[in-house]
Structure 1
Amino acid sequence: MTISARERVAVFLLGFSAFLPLYAPQSVLPRMAAALGTSVAATGTVIGATTLAVAVAAPLAGPLTDRFGRKRAMLAALAALGPLTLALVLCQTLDQVLVARFAQGMALPALLTGAVAFITGRWTGPASAAIMGVFVGGSAMGGFAGRFVAGLFGELFGWQAGFAALAVLSLACLPVIQHWLPADTPQPDSRFSAHLGATWRHAKDFRIRSAALFGATVLFAMTGTLSYVGFHLAQPPFNLGPAEIGLVFLVYPLGAAMAPMNGRLLRRLALRPAIAAAIAICLTGLGLLLIPMVPAVMAGICVFIIGIFLCQSLALGYVGRTARFSPGAAAGLYVCCFYLGGSLGAVIPGLLWPLYGWHGCVVVIAATLCGGAMLSRLMSEAPNGTINPQRFKN
């Protein structure tokens, strides 16, 4: 099946819109902490509130989007995200920010899971892989744009101004997606009880459970690193402002673009060595982040993100291959644990900040990644723990 240029643009904007608000506050967290009079750890909950809401809503998003139509559900989620992002402009206290951010997180799973289900349901074979790559590319650009726009406007007009710009940008994507994304049909046979039962059965499978917990350590590391590196860069010897911190995240899409390497890794290595190699890349990036030079920090973020995206794609691919029934339920379980890990990563490193600063954050993040490496030892694709090479011949 051919993919039109309009369909590519619509899918790219889906990924872009989904990740535009998710981590946007990371570039202005130091400015928010100063304005709201909150501690480093308390300000980190601005990220954790959204990832927690995504984790709570993720298991329910699959059957909801199936029942009401994936395109309709995605458009509704996108329409809700604009006003919810704009609501941050009116927030005067941390509690108000957390309420708005939690509401954003409740809307996001319909967009995230709906997009993946829509793509896999409409396109097959090489076309599906190609259009999924477009979605991932849009996600990476949305992740960067959210941080950069929030940082730029936060530098010029105050931390709240960036969210007004993001709301406008998000709503501008809505009519393009509505008109250029192909229609789909609801699937009324999708039942909550069957979906939740399948999720429980997957949770009892130690391989999928291990992959989900491994995913939790990965997002813990990513959220912890990218949330608190801004505080690090706002201090001496860097003394960067929000716009400059936002520019540092320019390397984020470059790291995300390396995710397709996982196929080559699996052809050369078994699953466990491939994950070990990805975690080693993450740890190398963390080491670079300890060097007190902006180019080193930018290189460290790029290397770290390469490793993180490799870990994510390896784990998601493993869940998809391992789930013998209801792959959507297995993916929902993974996403739930993944974002729960992100919620913890948004807070726990900040608790160490008053005593140990950035170095303490790096140590706990590195320890979490090492714990994830140990969990990955429980992930095997065959009874003997090796990969069947026939899977990758085509």
Structure 2
Amino acid sequence: MGKYAHLRLQLVVFALVAASFTNVYITQPVLPVLQAEFAATTPQVSFTVAAVVLGIALANLPFGVLVDRLPIRPIILTGGIMVALGGLICAITDNLWILIGARFLQGLFIPALTTCIAAYLAKTLPIERLNVVMGAYVSATVVGGLGGRLLGGWIHPPLHWRYAFVSAATLILAATFLAFKQLPKQPKLTIPTGEQPRFTTLLRRWDLVRIYLAAAGGFFIFSSVFNFLPFRLSAAPFSFSTELITLLYLVYVMGIFMGPMSGRLSNRIGSGNTLIGGTLLLGASVALTLLPSIYAIILGLLGLCTGFFAVHAAAVGSLNRRLTGGQGRANALYVLFYYVGGWIGITSSGFAYTEWGWPGVVLTCLLLLILPLMAGVGERRDARR
């Protein structure tokens, strides 16, 4: 593969992954608007995000298996069309539960684009090129996550939040057809040599399970804070507009820098210390959002992003260093725990917010710090042996 072909592949991957993740968080900044428009409760409108996350969690493993058996182009084409269809349904429906169902449909087919393209790259690229292209993949997840929030928040009220779904559907279709035409032909599927570990075998290893739990706990906290932040900021003493609330999501760009930095930090001080440091920063940052000051909120969100991406990057690195085989299945399990943690976080924090307000969300998040902290202590202990 020549220089320009390699650059073109990076751009295709970036476009497809960013467009996919744009659809995940599109309703997050307008949750108070949805609550008023549909006359719904806080937990009910939070399902418009939780449903996507649950769909991704459930479909990740099946698509991971499917991409080993079928060519990737038809999978990507089907996935892109279904995600766009779900978005268009969201744009036209007047029923909240149909909206939530369509969001779940989107979640079910997003792994057809994200999980499958990652597996495709691992099979078709040499390791030195794979690392570079996967860098584009990781950056695209951050840009897409931020882009969806900005799209959903800034389109409303100049137009209406429904137009955000139309825009996202257009983007995903364009990226899907671009990938369908531009992706290099993949080699014939080969049967891996040696016996690959089963999912049950991996789940019997406590050193891996604690890393999976760290991923679940970290994303539980991250999803909970960002999902209910609009309710916190739209109420007194802040009373912010949707556009101003959306502006605060720009702190998410910390993820672009923290991934590589956490990798280097883990190499220097160890994954265990990085996990522990990231967890402590997470806890302090979440607690900081209790203060009735916008400066405390901004500082807390910056710390939250820094701590979360440090935990996430250190956990992924630690997981893969422990593996001698079965990397595909082990990483699929990581993604499963990650998104299930996010779904549980959004759902449970919705009830906590209804009962106890923002302090209830903060307390729930602080309790979950035990999971990444436990993983960090275990990693540090193992490193000393």
**TM-score, length of structure 1 as denominator length:** 0.89
Match of 1:120 among 119, 122, 141: 122
Match of 1:108 among 107, 110, 117: 110
Q: Which moved more, 1:255-264 or 1:120-129?
A: 120-129
What does the per-residue CA deviation read over 1:171-223, in whole Å, with 9 as the maximum and x for residues that have no partner? 22223323333221452748xxx88x711111111111221121111111111
The CA distance in 2 between the partners of 1:256 and 1:358, in whole Å, is 28
TM superposition shift of 1:298: 3.0
The CA distance in 1 between the partners of 2:132 and 2:292, in whole Å, is 39
Alignment of 1:385 with 2:373, yes or no, is no
Residues 82, 105 of structure 2: 8 Å contact kept: no
Compared with structure 1, are the counterparts of its residues 32 and 207 closer, same or farther at alpha carbon in structure 2 (3 Å cutoff)? same
Compared with structure 1, are the counterparts of its residues 256 and 293 closer, same or farther at alpha carbon in structure 2 (3 Å cutoff)? farther
Residues 218, 372 of structure 1: 8 Å contact kept: yes
Match of 1:73 among 67, 70, 75: 75
After superposition, residues 263-342 of structure 1 pair within 5 angstroms as: 263-342=263-342
The CA distance in 1 between the partners of 2:174 and 2:295, in whole Å, is 34
Residues 155, 241 of structure 1: 8 Å contact kept: no
Letter in 2 for 1:99: G
Letter in 1 for 2:129: A
Alignment of 1:134 with 2:136, yes or no, is yes
| Counterpart secondary structure, 1:155 | coil
What does the per-residue CA deviation read over 1:255-289, in whole Å, with 9 as the maximum and x for residues that have no partner? 33211112222222232211001112222332342
Query: Paired residue for 1:36?
Result: 38
Q: Which moved more, 1:91-100 or 1:173-182?
A: 173-182
Query: Paired residue for 2:257?
Result: 257
TM superposition shift of 1:25: 1.1
| Counterpart secondary structure, 1:346 | helix
Match of 1:55 among 54, 57, 80: 57
| Counterpart secondary structure, 1:291 | coil
Alignment of 1:164 with 2:166, yes or no, is yes
What does the per-residue CA deviation read over 1:68-107, in whole Å, with 9 as the maximum and x for residues that have no partner? 1234423321222111111101222221122111111110
Residues 216, 341 of structure 1: 8 Å contact kept: yes
Alignment of 1:82 with 2:84, yes or no, is yes
The CA distance in 1 between the partners of 2:384 and 2:76, in whole Å, is 36
Compared with structure 1, are the counterparts of its residues 79 and 185 closer, same or farther at alpha carbon in structure 2 (3 Å cutoff)? farther
**TM-score, length of structure 2 as denominator length:** 0.91
Letter in 2 for 1:305: C
Q: Which moved more, 1:6-15 or 1:338-347?
A: 6-15
The CA distance in 2 between the partners of 1:89 and 1:327, in whole Å, is 39
Residues 152, 246 of structure 1: 8 Å contact kept: yes
TM superposition shift of 1:360: 1.8
TM superposition shift of 1:149: 0.8
Query: Paired residue for 2:369?
Result: 369
Query: Paired residue for 1:184?
Result: 186
Query: Paired residue for 2:48?
Result: 46
Letter in 2 for 1:103: L
Compared with structure 1, are the counterparts of its residues 251 and 71 closer, same or farther at alpha carbon in structure 2 (3 Å cutoff)? farther
Question: How many residue pairs were aligned?
Answer: 381
Q: Which moved more, 1:360-369 or 1:121-130?
A: 121-130
Alignment of 1:225 with 2:222, yes or no, is no
Residues 10, 177 of structure 1: 8 Å contact kept: yes
The CA distance in 1 between the partners of 2:137 and 2:271, in whole Å, is 25
Residues 211, 372 of structure 2: 8 Å contact kept: no
Residues 14, 135 of structure 1: 8 Å contact kept: no
TM superposition shift of 1:319: 2.0
Q: Which moved more, 1:301-310 or 1:180-189?
A: 180-189
Q: Which moved more, 1:70-79 or 1:251-260?
A: 70-79
The root-mean-square deviation of aligned C-alpha atoms, in Å, is 2.3
Residues 17, 78 of structure 1: 8 Å contact kept: no
What does the per-residue CA deviation read over 1:19-65, in whole Å, with 9 as the maximum and x for residues that have no partner? 11111111111111111111112222222111111111111111201
What does the per-residue CA deviation read over 1:266-325, in whole Å, with 9 as the maximum and x for residues that have no partner? 222232211001112222332342333434423322321122112112112222222332
Residues 273, 376 of structure 2: 8 Å contact kept: no
The CA distance in 1 between the partners of 2:275 and 2:104, in whole Å, is 32
Letter in 2 for 1:104: Q
Compared with structure 1, are the counterparts of its residues 29 and 173 closer, same or farther at alpha carbon in structure 2 (3 Å cutoff)? same
Query: Paired residue for 2:346?
Result: 346
State percent identity of aligned pairs: 25
Unaligned runs of 5+ in 1: 389-394
| Counterpart secondary structure, 1:119 | helix
Query: Paired residue for 2:234?
Result: 234
Compared with structure 1, are the counterparts of its residues 22 and 387 closer, same or farther at alpha carbon in structure 2 (3 Å cutoff)? farther
What does the per-residue CA deviation read over 1:150-177, in whole Å, with 9 as the maximum and x for residues that have no partner? 1122322333232122212222222332
| Counterpart secondary structure, 2:157 | helix
The CA distance in 2 between the partners of 1:2 and 1:205, in whole Å, is 42
Alignment of 1:16 with 2:13, yes or no, is no
The CA distance in 1 between the partners of 2:123 and 2:299, in whole Å, is 38
The CA distance in 2 between the partners of 1:124 and 1:238, in whole Å, is 52
Alignment of 1:145 with 2:147, yes or no, is yes
